[in-house]
Structure 1
Amino acid sequence: MKRVDVVYVMLRDDSGEKLLMVKNYGDKGSYYTLPGGAVEAGETLQEAAIREAKEETGLDVSIGGLFSVSEDFFDERGHHAVFFIFEGQVLGGEITIAFPEEIEEVKWMPIQEAVHYLYIPEKAEEQVRANRSVPYILRGQVIQKR
């Protein structure tokens, strides 16, 4: 199995009550995720998260701590995927869809609706609302919530 690292960025609106979600086209129909995607060769998790958020939403972002790490096996693809969800902050830019063949919609979604698409335990909604994360350490530098 090939190991694939995937990063996502959890971005909140100014009220803290909505998360930015991306509606992707899929083989079995459209589905929502946080902005994110696969880490490319030679990229750090931080670089990949910032790049993917920009590509999928048009927004410039910074990342803070890690919200969660999870993994799954996709036998049909031969992948062992490790998913990293980072807390993030919008720095600027405008919401745009740069890849309309991949992304159907980008929208702010209420947290209670968005958590159904995050593939986290139901009890983790409290953690999403509390905006809790642990530090992400990159080359000895601690990156935490901003």
Structure 2
Amino acid sequence: VYDTCKSLHSAFSELYFIFTHLSGYERYKSSLHVFVCLLGLVVLCHSQCFFEELEVKDPNNPPKGCVDKDGKLHDFDSAWVRDCMDCSCTREGLSCCSKIPDANTVDVPEECELVVNEKACSVKVVMKSDNEKECSPV
């Protein structure tokens, strides 16, 4: 997720540079595109998801699926879980979202803490004073 957000941030920075060097009507027309890119960056990075568009290098030999970060080929219309990420492959590309929420996106009462179990890909909110007692996020 971090690498995806970092790449999108770099792309946005380049768009912003181009945008600032335009003038008048060109700047007005481009402002919507910059806004949409920024919005996509914010949504993607906060939702802990990423999408990699499928690359067609040779139209005579189209891809047979999506290749994950480990180099494994997954068939179209397949889904799997790897490193607590729900992933799926479509003819458009590879999409993955974290099954574990970011601690910064969950409101946890002061007396509670977020406990992550990466083996089970689960999260629970427990009392700081007794991590056996669950408490509810506000």
Q: Same fold (TM over 0.5)?
A: no
Judging by fraction of residues, say which structure has more strand.
1
| Greater RCO (CA < 8 Å, at least 6 residues apart) | 1
TM-score normalised over the length of structure 2: 0.25
Judging by fraction of residues, say which structure has more helix.
2
TM-score normalised over the length of structure 1: 0.24
| Larger Rg over CA atoms | 2
